[in-house]
Amino acid sequence: MHVLEARRHGIEYGVEHFVDAQGTAWWLKVTNEDATDFRLLARPVGGGWWREIVAERPGSRLDGVDAFSSFLALSERENGCAALRLVKLLPGDDPFGDLLARSTLVEGGAFPNTVGISSNPNFETSQVRVLITSLTTPRLIADVVVETGEIIVRKQQKVLGGYEESEYVTGRLWVETK
């Protein structure tokens, strides 16, 4: 076992390990240190300083990161809903660059909805398996092609007695309080 950082009161963090296309091993750290809604840091496994690669975005909470050979999957909470953001890594010595500028949010259909990462056992893949559901969309498992954003439905929950999604609506009302 290797301790990356000693525990500190009030500081949460989770780490992910990956090896980029150049063979450099990295630690990725999602933390609330100096960031109420969390931020993403990176550093080479051999040591060095943590470098911020996704800054805190107030109102958009970063919950986790999953690393694949050519992209990262960022689990977030956007407008109170679980969301998934995919970002392709760059070739060369710095695979990160401006991650958010290159990222895409996986579409979840009717809002409000939940889009979350599912089981993805393969590091070398061009697709990511996701779970999508909403108040009007029965839970489905799909693969998202990272390059194109195409969503390929693999399995969808059956609704007994028949169901026509277009016959239902969903929404959210925000109310300000004093």
Question: pLDDT value at position 100?
Answer: 94
Q: What is the per-residue pLDDT across 83-127, written as a single tens digit (0 to 9) for each?
A: 999 999 999 889 999 999 999 999 998 899 999 999 999 999 999
pTM equals 0.92
Stretch 10-28: mean pLDDT, rounded? 95
Q: What is the per-residue pLDDT across 55-65, written as a single tens digit (0 to 9) for each?
A: 999 989 999 99
Nearest Cα to Cα of residue 28 among 7, 4, 6, 1: 4
Spatial neighbors of 128 by CB under 8 A, at least 6 apart, are: 66, 68, 71, 73, 84, 86, 117, 120, 143, 144, 146
Q: What is the per-residue pLDDT across 154-178, written as a single tens digit (0 to 9) for each?
A: 999 999 888 888 898 898 888 999 8
Question: pLDDT value at position 178?
Answer: 87
Question: pLDDT value at position 156?
Answer: 95
Q: What is the chain's mean pLDDT, rounded?
A: 94
- Six token digits for residue 77: 């909470």
Tell me how crowded residue 173 is: count the other CB atoms within 10 A of its CB: 4
Spatial neighbors of 23 by CB under 8 A, at least 6 apart, are: none
**Sign of the CA dihedral running 6, 59, 53, 128:** positive
